[in-house]
Amino acid sequence: MLIVLSDLHFVDETAGKHNLPPDAFEEVFLSDIVELAVRKRAKEITLLLLGDIPDLIRSAHWFDVPPADRPWGENGLADVRNWRTLTTANTTPTERLCLRILGQMPASGHKEDVPKDTILYRNWEILALFRNLEAEIHQRMAAIQPGTLPPVRVLYIPGNHDRLINLYPSLREEWRKMAGLTVDTTTVTGNPQGQWWYRYDYQDEVSGVYGRHGHQFDLWNYGGGHDTTSLEAHLQVPIGDVIATEFAVGLVWQAQQMEHRIGHSLVERLEDIDNVRPMGRLLEWLYYEIEQNKRHRKAMDEITDAVVKNILNTPFVQHWRTPLTNLDEGLRATRGLRGLGDLVERLNTPGPDEFVRLATAVPLRWLFGKMLDFTDTNTLLQFVLFFMGSQSGSDDDADPYLQGAFREHIWQNNPNYHFVLYGHTHKPGIWALDGANNREVLYINTGTWRERIQRTTGLDLAADFIKLKQMTYVVIYGPEENGGWRGGNKAKGTPSFDMWTGSKLKHYR
């Protein structure tokens, strides 16, 4: 029995208190899993954490160090170039701050010996549950139905917000210890007794499952271009990291510095930016927040001015280039286009990286700086949103993740695979892929357990937003896991799965 979770986004809470309550795991998730394991007669239990589990870039600690020591700064980029030779014996400035954000397992094993502003401390109870998952599941199963107990293991696939885990050997080891991960020749690349890295995909031919985080199909959050398989490609810095920290966390950090004169309420509202999905909606959400809080406009002008000017002066942003746009992308990604007109439009449309480089060139960087000086944020955002237009298409065939799932060679070349699993989008769902000979193949997105701020559907330019709490997990059963207290009625050797998704709306005092 394979249980899949993604996008938990454990943070150190320096940029907002967004972590999950332990009760969500102990009282809801674990109880369901134990009941299913008993009822389905599980032969083994594997918990697969499908990326974006610890979130290292959503931290205000990055503003404690010079820009050169951030992952997209001069020293951080040098670490990426030297990824093969990084060792625990000679850590770098960027690596040391990553460890500071993640935390380290104390020799005492006590939470009180961990710094409070770390991912480990703020998520201690849930991570302890992962570390002791087998004992916890066995105890609960034995109480329901005594008998042979299945082996239990926890596996991990990195995403984009936890990209830095796989870059540094010290982080790989610390994360293994704090999450109780299984590290052997079947779960990692390299030598488990020496230099090793977490794999970027999960392959289980017996259960018919292929999984990856899915950020490989997001040009903003994947720095490897067309190469979606190699380790080196996955370690490259995406511009989404810069946006998430320098812009999203930067807004919060700037507000925190001004809290004594702007009040805590504005800081709290800005902390919600962490849950806006997709990330392309950040500017719309910011415009919406300013419209809802006109008395904070002057403070928002000051905060946004500082953040945007900082991004415009970031060398990584000024030189960002991705092969996934313009001519190269137009020739490659022809599936989903409705005809020659769409292809011509794709070829003649500059990619987002070209717009970014244009905006950060010296003349326009100066011009944008002056616009920020003489224009309030609300007016400037109206101007930008007008030229951005609507990005909320509803055509599933144009979805890059659905296209990516359809093109996965592993299920197309092997009839034993029936499920393609991604996370990343925070939008759970199931889509049927077109397999030959009436073959059933499903692309399943595993959603998130985090609160999700989503845009309302409307015809006006000024969007509204609503917050929903979400929880999704997917359970894939092996061919011999029939189910039912009396043996079940599942056809022998056939694939089967359950997907559980819950949403909740509640306004707290």
Tell whether the model's pLDDT for residue 329 goes beyond 50.
no
* 83 and 226 part of one domain: yes
Q: Which of 366, 388, 410 finishes a domain?
A: 388
Number of domains the chain contains: 2
Q: What is the mean pLDDT of residues 50-77?
A: 98
**266 or 102, greater pLDDT:** 102
H or E segment and range at residue 134: helix 133-144
Q: Dump pLDDT digits (tens) for 122-133.
A: 999 999 999 999
* 196 and 304 part of one domain: no
- Distance between CA atoms of residues 468 and 450, nearest Å: 9
- Burial of residue 508, with CB atoms counted within 10 A of its CB: 0-12 exposed, 13-18 middle, 19 or more buried: exposed
Over the chain, what is the mean pLDDT?
Answer: 85
C-beta separation of 401 from 6 below 8 A: no
pLDDT at site 203: 97
| Domain span at 177 | 2-236+395-504
* 376 and 421 part of one domain: no
Return the minimum-mean-pLDDT range out of 233-242, 244-253, 396-405, 452-461.
Answer: 452-461
Q: What is the mean pLDDT of residues 475-495?
A: 72
pLDDT at site 278: 73
Beta-ladder partners of 465: 455
- Distance between CA atoms of residues 187 and 71, nearest Å: 26
* 295 and 187 part of one domain: no
C-beta separation of 219 from 324 below 8 A: yes
Tell whether the model's pLDDT for residue 347 goes beyond 60.
no
* Residue 504 neighbours by CB distance under 10 Å: 9
Helix axes 362-374, 352-360, angle to 10 degrees: 80
- Distance between CA atoms of residues 126 and 7, nearest Å: 14
Domain annotation covers residue 373: yes
Domain annotation covers residue 114: yes
C-beta separation of 57 from 245 below 8 A: yes
C-beta separation of 365 from 356 below 8 A: no
pLDDT at site 339: 46
Domain annotation covers residue 400: yes
With pLDDT > 70 as the criterion, what percentage of the chain qualifies? 82
Domain annotation covers residue 13: yes
Backbone angles phi, psi at 32, to 5 degrees: -65, -45
Q: What is the mean pLDDT of residues 389-414?
A: 77
* 421 and 371 part of one domain: no
pLDDT at site 287: 77
Confidence of residue 438 (pLDDT cuts 50, 70, 90): confident
Domain annotation covers residue 336: yes
The answer for residues whose C-beta is within 8 angstroms of residue 77's C-beta and 6 or more apart is 71, 237, 316
- Distance between CA atoms of residues 81 and 209, nearest Å: 33
Q: What is the mean pLDDT of residues 200-217?
A: 96
Q: Which of 18, 24, 198 has its CA nearest to residue 126?
A: 24
Tell whether the model's pLDDT for residue 359 goes beyond 90.
no
For 470-498, the DSSP string reads EEEEEEEE-TT---STT---PPTT--EEE
Tell whether the model's pLDDT for residue 335 goes beyond 90.
no
Q: Dump pLDDT digits (tens) for 276-321.
A: 877 777 877 887 877 777 777 888 888 988 998 898 889 999 888 8
The answer for residues whose C-beta is within 8 angstroms of residue 105's C-beta and 6 or more apart is 120, 174, 177, 178
**63 or 393, greater pLDDT:** 63
The answer for residues whose C-beta is within 8 angstroms of residue 21's C-beta and 6 or more apart is none
**495 or 57, greater pLDDT:** 57
Domain annotation covers residue 262: no
* 331 and 415 part of one domain: no
Confidence of residue 106 (pLDDT cuts 50, 70, 90): very high
C-beta separation of 160 from 54 below 8 A: no
Confidence of residue 439 (pLDDT cuts 50, 70, 90): confident
* 102 and 211 part of one domain: yes
SS3 of 427-473 = CCEEEEEECHHHCEEEEEECCCCCCEEEECCCCCCCCCEEEEEEEEE
Tell whether the model's pLDDT for residue 121 goes beyond 90.
yes
pLDDT at site 486: 46
Confidence of residue 445 (pLDDT cuts 50, 70, 90): very high
Tell whether the model's pLDDT for residue 326 goes beyond 80.
no
**384 or 464, greater pLDDT:** 464
Q: Which of 345, 363, 388 finishes a domain?
A: 388
Domain annotation covers residue 266: no
* 71 and 154 part of one domain: yes
* 379 and 409 part of one domain: no
* 42 and 169 part of one domain: yes
Q: Which of 353, 388, 423 finishes a domain?
A: 388
* 38 and 108 part of one domain: yes
Q: Dump pLDDT digits (tens) for 164-192.
A: 999 999 999 999 999 999 999 999 999 99
SS3 content of the chain, % helix, strand, coil (to 5): 45, 15, 40
* 470 and 416 part of one domain: yes
- Distance between CA atoms of residues 354 and 360, nearest Å: 10
Domain annotation covers residue 229: yes
Tell whether the model's pLDDT for residue 340 goes beyond 60.
no
pLDDT at site 213: 98
